[in-house]
Structure 1
Amino acid sequence: MKYVVATILLFGCGESGRPAEDEHDHGGDAHEEHGAETHREEGMVSLTEIQLANADLQYSTLDTLNISGFVKTNGILDLPPQNIAAVSAPMDGFVKKVNYLVGDYVKKGAVLAVLEHMDYIKLQEEYLNVINNLEYLESEYERQRQLDSAQVTAKKQFQAASVAYKSALTRKKALEKQLQYMGLSPKSIAAGEISGSIAIRAPLSGYITALNVHNGAFVQSQEEIYELVDTDHMHLELNVFEQDINKIKIGQLILFTVPGLGEERYRGSVFLIGKSFDRDSKTVKVHGHIEEEHHEFLRGLYVEAKIYSGDEHMAALPEESIVNDQGQSYVFVLVKDIEEHENEEHHHAEGHSEAVEDHGITFRRVPVGTGIKDQGYVQIKQIADLPHGSQFVTKGAYYLYSEMKKGEGGHHHH
């Protein structure tokens, strides 16, 4: 399918709205050579860099859309267990300082809170006593061992020295583990550095979703101080009714919205299908992976989803790509994608392409036939024979349309 094309050049800085026939005073030779009224089946519009910046255009190739049937479902955004951490104190203590609040992002190892208690000092004191006594017990053990080997001393004395030394050694190792668990350094304590406080650190990088203490509060070791979540691996937990579960297969496309965050549609796929049936809700859990990371997602937010249960596809573009004019639907295509494909149109207008290159990017309006609408997309049933990979304007089509109308000076005819 070939088109006869007239180019309408638009200029920034207040001139974009002037009729094409007024441009000859500013060197618009291309317009004089191609009378704006002669070829109106197809419109072309060129934007300057300033206009492009204002237009905020977006482009895409033709998408394919699955229309072979879907299962409607709902559920929540959730996280795997390893991405959720409940943070508690290793020992009872008083809260000396709270460093972060709900909503804050922290990196692994960050100090969330500082606790203090006399028991921390007692534990370190005990460790110092053990390591100080260990040197004597070790030398006594060695002395008794040598005497025993020479059969100079009684067996009982050697056994007692051995038990005392090994018990102290075991106690030293146990205390070291306990101190490390509390975040204290046995090496520093052995060097005489004793601390009355301990730091509670983040076990993973993520967002704080719960805080249950304040300065001065007494917390017990079994209490949760903070909850942290790493949102990098958010997934879908969907509830599929029993009559639909036989339609669901691993790998199927999921398109979903998060009503709490707006109307944007996101993509995912079926990853796991539950093996248990909830008798109360009559549903089976379906676990879905989400394409890309969306840091605005929050655990527990409600989602509405469609799981596409077949593989029939159609060509489609977002609804805002389509411009309607007197009953005809149009889309805009980047001219650089079709110049080679329709070379003959450019040969009969030699000054044309040169003028286009001088004034930013040029777009052609192309008529299309549309079909059904779904998921914010429109089926493209009929379109000109364009090269594979042509770029369509998916955002800002009406801006281009209005600029083209300005350039035509109201003389467009169907």
Structure 2
Amino acid sequence: MKSNYIQTRSFVLILALGSAIFFTQCKKEQPTEETTTTVAENETTVHLTDAQMKNTVIETGTLSERKIATTLKLTGKIDVPPQNLVSVTNPLGGYLKSTKLLPGMHIKKGELIAMMEDPQYIQLQQNYLIAKDKYEFAKLDYNRQKDLNASQASSDKVMQIAQAEMNNQRITMNALAQQLALININPSSLTHDNISRTISIYSPINGFVSKAYVNVGKYVTPSDVMFELINPLDIHLNLKVYEKDLDKLEIGQRVVSYTNANPDKRYEGKIILISMDVNADGVSEVHCHFEEFDKKLVPGMYMNADIDTHAQVSQALPEESVVYFEKQNYVFVQTERQTYEMTPVQIGPKEDGYIQINNPTELSNKKIVTKGAYTLLMKLKNTEEEE
């Protein structure tokens, strides 16, 4: 019994001693966890070892003065000057007999685009031919009375009445001839044998059909627009610009435009007109001419445009000095040997591989990483993940 008691007591003592040792070890490990937490808190500083420096290309530099032009970004749409947008009408109205026009179709100046018919065309030609015959008769009568008056066989009054009648008939004939010209009938070629009930409508410009408002058989009044034609050779870009930016623009300035659908396709142009009329929203218009015509550019198409304004001297860094991380721009500033601090930076426009720094006072006279900034960023973030 005594032997069993001694064994039991020894087991309890050993168990207590083991628990104490385990508890002591756990307490000793706690400072290590605290040290790890302290290292992880420094999320903006990266230190490279000698071995890492041998395998990494790091170059530093300072802010430098560079001439950088500010790029003004505008929006607008393709427009056509009034002289290049033609609305086709029929001055006398009538029924559309035939047409082949469809929106987007290319046409040439003088090309037949529609045939019209109406009884009034016949009546107009009839009236002209009658007026022409009456004029010829009145002219003969006047010449006869003139000869008689010269031989004292007729009074001056009779000759004057014949002259007035001749002039009246000539006025009527010429007025009707002008009406025929409006509907593309040549009065000089009109005879009693070629009266037509149809007239032809011809294209007044080279270009393409923008809109067609009529169909075969439809009656068109003189005020109805039948077709809209566009001469695309003089299309231009109409941009909207705020009043505060007007002083940055001038005639002849270079413009680069592009569409949302194909932003990589750039269209060169220049400013030809700056409107000084500002609307209630503080917006004015800038008209730009394209250097080369592209048939893919059609009126009404929305465009984006970049305009480089006058260059000014700014504090700048090489573009690769700036890294973008979590919606913020940063640079790495060398604080000690092989130690770099990630510092927020405000940037401006870019030109010729350099980028404008808008908060230069915070970086003045500091060594800034100009090559290898992204390597430092990756090293810094990978270290945080490991920790």
Verify: 1:251 aligned to 2:252, yes or no: yes
Partner of 2:299: 299
After alignment, is 251-260 or 159-168 more displaced? 251-260
* Mapped partners of 2:263, 2:153: distance in 1: 88
Tell me, yes or no, if the aligned pair for 1:109 and 1:204 is still in contact at 8 Å: yes
Contact 2:70–2:311, Cα closer than 8 Å, also in 1:
no
Q: Deviations over 1:41-71 (max 9, x none)?
A: xxxxxxxxxxxxxxxxxxxxxxxxx951121
**Cα-to-partner distance string for 1:365-387 (whole Å, 9 max, x where unaligned):** xxxxxxx9989x98399xxxxxx
The letter of the residue matching 1:81 is: P
Distance in 2, Cα, partners of 1:195 & 1:373: 72
1:219 paired to 2:193 = no
- Name the residue aligned to 1:181: 182
How far does residue 312 in structure 1 lie from its aligned partner after superposition? 7.3
Map of 1:86 onto structure 2: 87
What secondary structure sits across from 1:310 in the alignment? Answer: strand
Counterpart Cα distance in 2 of 1:374 and 1:186: 67
What amino acid maps onto 1:290 in structure 2?
A: F
CA contact under 8 A between 2:70 and 2:349: conserved in structure 1? no
Alpha-carbon separation, structure 1, partners of 2:349 and 2:264: 14
- The equivalent of 1:205 in structure 2 is 206
The alpha-carbon deviation at position 114 of structure 1 amounts to 0.7
1:264 maps to 265
Residue 94 of structure 1 and its aligned partner are, at CA, apart by 0.7
The equivalent of 2:45 in structure 1 is: none
User: Residue in 2 aligned with 1:149?
Assistant: 150
Deviations 1:260-294 (A, max 9, x none): 45542222112211121111x31111111212111
Spell out, residue by residue over 1:335-391, the C-alpha distance to the aligned partner (whole angstroms, 9 max, x if none).
xxxxxxxxxxxxxxxxxxxxxxxxxxxxxxxxxxxxx9989x98399xxxxxxxxxx
| Cα distance in 1 for residues equivalent to 2:176 and 2:132 | 10
Moved more, 78-87 or 248-257: 248-257
User: What secondary structure, in the 3-state scheme, does the structure 2 residue paired with 1:190 have?
Assistant: coil
Rate the CA distance shift 1:93–1:291 in 2: closer, same or farther, 3 A: same
Pick which of 210-219 and 129-138 moved more.
129-138
Distance 1:234 1:374, change over 3 A: farther
Q: Matched residues in 2 for 1:185 and 1:271: separation? A: 41
Q: Which structure has greater helix proportion?
A: 2
Relative to structure 1, the CA distance from residue 265 to residue 373 in structure 2 (aligned partners, 3 Å threshold; closer, same or farther) is farther
Displacement after TM superposition at 1:192 (Å)? 2.4
Q: Quick one: which amino acid aligns to residue 73 of structure 2?
A: K
- Matched with 1:190 is 191
SS in 2 for 1:136: helix
- Contact map agreement 2:251 2:271 (CA 8 A) in 1: yes
| Preserved CA contact (<8 Å) 1:273 1:286 | yes
**Residue 197 of structure 1, CA deviation:** 0.4
In 2, Cα distance between equivalents of 1:236 and 1:264 = 16
Q: What SS class does the counterpart of residue 277 from structure 2 fall into?
A: strand
* Aligned residues: CA RMSD: 2.4
Where 2:226 maps in the other structure, the secondary structure is strand
Please name the residue that 1:238 is paired with.
239
- Contact 1:76–1:303 (CA under 8 A) maintained in structure 2: yes
Measured in 2, the distance between the counterparts of 1:138 and 1:169 equals: 9
My pick for the range that moved more, 75-84 or 254-263, is: 254-263
Q: Is the counterpart of residue 379 in structure 1 residue 380 in structure 2? A: no
In the TM superposition, what are the counterparts of 1:92-103 in structure 2 within 5 Å? 92-103=93-104
Contact 1:254–1:308, Cα closer than 8 Å, also in 2: yes
Which residue type is aligned with residue 162 of structure 2? A
Aligned equivalents of 1:263 and 1:136: distance in 2? 74
Equivalent-residue separation in structure 1 for 2:111 and 2:241 (angstroms) = 40
Amino acid at match of 1:200: I
1:96–1:116 Cα contact (<8 Å) kept: yes
Greater C-alpha Rg = 2
Aligned residue pairs, count: 256
Q: Which runs of 5+ in 1 are unaligned?
A: 1-65, 314-371, 382-414
Q: TM-score, normalised by structure 1?
A: 0.58
Shift of 1:158: 1.5
Q: What is the CA deviation profile of residues 246-267 of structure 1, one whole-angstrom value per residue up to 9, with x for unaligned ones?
A: 1112222211112245542222
For the residues of structure 2 that align with 1:311 and 1:373, how far apart are their CA atoms? Answer: 13
Structure 1 segments (4+ residues) deviating >6 Å = 372-375
Name the aligned partner's letter for residue 165 of structure 1.
M
Equivalences for residues 264-343 of structure 1 within 5 A: 264-279=265-280, 281-311=281-311
Question: Relative to structure 1, is the Cα distance of residues 82 and 261 closer, same or farther in structure 2, using a 3 angstrom cutoff?
Answer: farther
SS in 1 for 2:196: coil
Match of 1:140 in 2: 141
Whole-angstrom distance in 1 between the partners of 2:208 and 2:278? 33
Give 1:215 shift: 0.7
CA distance in 2, matches of 1:209, 1:127: 36
Aligned 8 A contact 1:99 1:111 in 2: no
Percent identity between the aligned chains?
A: 30
8 Å contact kept, 2:78–2:302: yes
Could you tell me how far 1:74 is from its partner in structure 2? Answer: 1.0
**Greater Cα offset, 256-265 or 210-219:** 256-265
Give 1:85 shift.
0.3
Structure 1 residues 102 and 245, CA, compared in 2 at 3 Å: closer, same or farther?
Answer: same
